[in-house]
């Protein structure tokens, strides 16, 4: 819905986009999040939690604010609750944009970073500087870990490219949404044909979701890691069609027409998504390249009624099934998401700049002066991601939903320190603990002051002198 509203905003229809935002504000859940999908009255249908779907409405609110299109809508309470949800749940999403897997997703984290920076600007505009700074620092923390969390250093898809983004990295044991095979860096793929493999190493699966980092301004289009990852995407996912290049969602995808052209009925074979040509065109535009051919390709994927499908048939024609190479397969027609991407692409082409780019995000993470403002040296602990190690010289920021006091020691309890948490509205409460230089372990517990209840155990965090990255995959 936000993609559609943003496309209408790109067409100058701020009033329609504002109505969409009002509807989203009315269907926002008490905890600040949104249901994976829901009926018109807001009643949830499926039960997934997708962090990008919480970040997108915040970004839409920011865009309308900057465009002077909010009218009399007071958006801050809505934005503050959504930002709080992101803080309490990020960086691990229950589902990424394909609504299938949990973990660390480049596309999801791109949206989360964008949403947090937008929320921080809005907070500062409403005289909530402390919250604004906290949200910026939370975004900085995610941005500073992107490569650790979402990149393989030992790729197997292209012999010439060992380091590239993955589609998603699963949660570690003890983290939110960890599955039974946690610790093995494997993901389960849905919709696979009967009798075929369903478990894959994370490094074996790639999609182009990392391009969302370019879209929102988290990474430059010419970033070497982006370029190398695209080499893998093109080697594994690109298909040449009569209309031009097209791309699959990800390798080993089972969502699409069956190999014989039969309908998808619980399993099949993923086909080319026209929308992904639009996403690639946005990256090429950001890189300063001519995208006219990609726009033409995108348009030629449409049906005779000029509707853009979810997927197109990417093999030789099958007249007996009315399937023609490069034309709509048996998937949804139209896919409104594809139409929204097309409209935004046209606006981007006219402007010579990606319409979806969030300038304060780009300025903060892609410009040298902006990067100087980023807060480094903070590691975050929450019940969603209970870390066991931190870098020497860093501050441990402990988050919780209730007011608490931390009791801690960095010298084996020879000395005891206490730190009170501070309130941050919907984001909960936060306490910073800075171990002394030379300490090798931080041990702490916490007491919720309002109920006078203790955590009941001590948490030990090892302090390492050199940065330890996520396990190599």
Whichever domain contains 404, its CATH number is: 2.60.40.10
Same domain, 349 and 404: no
**Residue 470 resides in a domain:** no
Low-confidence ranges of the chain (pLDDT < 70): 466-473
**Residue 268 resides in a domain:** yes
- Could you give the number of structural domains in the chain? 2
Q: Comparing C-alpha atoms, which of 297, 147, 157 is closest to residue 210?
A: 147
Q: Decide if 328 contacts 303 (C-beta within 8 A).
A: yes
| pLDDT tens by residue, 21-75 | 999 999 999 999 999 999 999 999 999 999 999 999 999 999 999 999 999 999 9
Same domain, 324 and 412: no
**Residue 473 resides in a domain:** no
Last residue of a domain, one of 309, 336, 369: 369
**Residue 469 resides in a domain:** no
| pLDDT tens by residue, 241-256 | 999 999 999 999 999 9
- Strand segments (E) across 313-391: 378-381, 389-391
Same domain, 133 and 231: yes
**Residue 472 resides in a domain:** no
Last residue of a domain, one of 369, 389, 418: 369
Q: Decide if 442 contacts 412 (C-beta within 8 A).
A: no
Q: What's the pTM value of the predicted model, to 2 decimals? A: 0.96
User: The domain that contains 253 carries what CATH number?
Assistant: 1.50.10.10
The confidence score (pLDDT) of residue 180 equals 84
Task: Give the list of residues 6+ apart from residue 427 with CB closer than 8 angstroms, or none.
Answer: 83, 84, 87, 88, 131, 134, 135, 399
Same domain, 280 and 427: no
Same domain, 268 and 387: no
Same domain, 385 and 347: no
**Residue 16 resides in a domain:** yes
**Residue 56 resides in a domain:** yes
Same domain, 313 and 383: no
Same domain, 339 and 398: no
**Residue 178 resides in a domain:** yes
What does the alpha-carbon distance between residue 179 and residue 332 come to, in Å, rounded to a whole number?
A: 31
The confidence score (pLDDT) of residue 170 equals 97
Q: Which of 96, 100, 121, 175 is catalytic?
A: 96
Q: Which residue has the tokens 């480094």?
A: 376
Task: Give the list of residues 6+ apart from residue 64 with CB closer than 8 angstroms, or none.
Answer: 9, 14, 17, 18, 21, 70, 73, 75
Q: Which of 99, 130, 201, 315 is catalytic?
A: 99
Is 121 annotated in the active site? no
Is 100 annotated in the active site? no
Same domain, 365 and 398: no
Could you say which DSSP state residue 407 is in?
A: E
Q: Decide if 163 contacts 228 (C-beta within 8 A).
A: yes
Last residue of a domain, one of 326, 350, 369: 369
How many CB atoms within 10 Å of residue 278? 27
Same domain, 177 and 256: yes
Same domain, 248 and 276: yes
Identify any residues that bridge with 316 across adjacent strands, giving them in sequence order. none
Identify any residues that bridge with 164 across adjacent strands, giving them in sequence order. 152
Same domain, 78 and 53: yes
**440 is in which domain, residue-wise?**
378-464
């Amino acid at each position: 819905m936000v993609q559609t509203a943003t496309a209408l905003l790109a067409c100058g229809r701020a009033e329609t986009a504002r109505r969409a935002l009002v509807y989203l504000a009315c269907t926002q859940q008490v905890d600040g999040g949104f249901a994976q999908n829901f009926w018109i009255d807001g009643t949830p249908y499926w039960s997934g939690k997708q962090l990008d779907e919480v970040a997108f409405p915040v970004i839409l609110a920011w865009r309308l604010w900057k465009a002077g299109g909010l009218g009399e809508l007071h958006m801050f309470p809505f934005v503050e609750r959504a930002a709080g949800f992101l803080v309490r749940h990020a960086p691990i999403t229950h589902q990424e944009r394909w609504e299938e897997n949990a973990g660390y997703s480049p596309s999801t984290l791109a949206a989360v970073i964008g949403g947090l920076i937008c929320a921080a600007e809005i907070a500062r505009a409403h005289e909530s500087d402390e919250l604004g700074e906290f949200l910026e620092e939370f975004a900085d923390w995610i941005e500073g870990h992107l490569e650790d969390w979402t990149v393989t250093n030992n790729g197997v898809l292209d012999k010439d490219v060992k380091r590239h983004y993955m589609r998603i990295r699963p949660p570690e044991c003890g983290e939110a949404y960890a599955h039974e095979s946690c610790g093995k860096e494997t993901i389960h793929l849905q919709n696979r044909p009967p009798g075929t493999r369903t478990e894959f190493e994370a490094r074996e699966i790639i999609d182009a979701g990392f391009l969302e980092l370019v879209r929102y301004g988290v990474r430059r289009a010419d970033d070497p890691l982006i370029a190398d990852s695209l080499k893998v995407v093109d080697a594994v996912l690109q298909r040449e069609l009569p209309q031009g290049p097209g791309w699959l969602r990800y390798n080993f995808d089972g969502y699409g027409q069956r190999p014989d052209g039969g309908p998808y009925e619980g399993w099949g074979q993923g086909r080319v998504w026209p929308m992904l040509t639009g996403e690639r065109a946005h990256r090429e535009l950001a890189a300063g390249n001519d995208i006219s051919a990609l726009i033409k390709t995108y348009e030629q994927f449409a049906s005779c009624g000029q509707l853009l499908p979810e997927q197109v048939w990417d093999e030789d024609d099958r007249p007996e099934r009315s399937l023609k190479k490069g034309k709509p397969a048996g998937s949804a027609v139209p896919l409104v998401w594809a139409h929204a991407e097309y409209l935004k692409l046209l606006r981007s082409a006219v402007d010579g700049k990606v319409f979806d780019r969030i300038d304060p995000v780009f300025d903060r993470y892609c410009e040298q002066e902006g990067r100087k403002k980023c807060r480094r040296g903070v590691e975050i602990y929450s019940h969603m991601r209970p870390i066991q190690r931190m870098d020497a010289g860093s501050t441990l920021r402990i988050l919780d939903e209730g007011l608490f006091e931390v009791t801690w020691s960095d010298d084996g309890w020879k000395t005891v320190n206490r730190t009170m948490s501070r309130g941050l509205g919907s984001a909960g409460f936060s306490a910073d603990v800075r171990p002394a230089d030379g300490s090798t372990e931080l041990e702490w517990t916490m007491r919720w002051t309002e109920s006078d209840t203790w955590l009941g155990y001590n948490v030990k965090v090892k302090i390492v002198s050199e940065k330890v990255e996520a396990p190599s995959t």
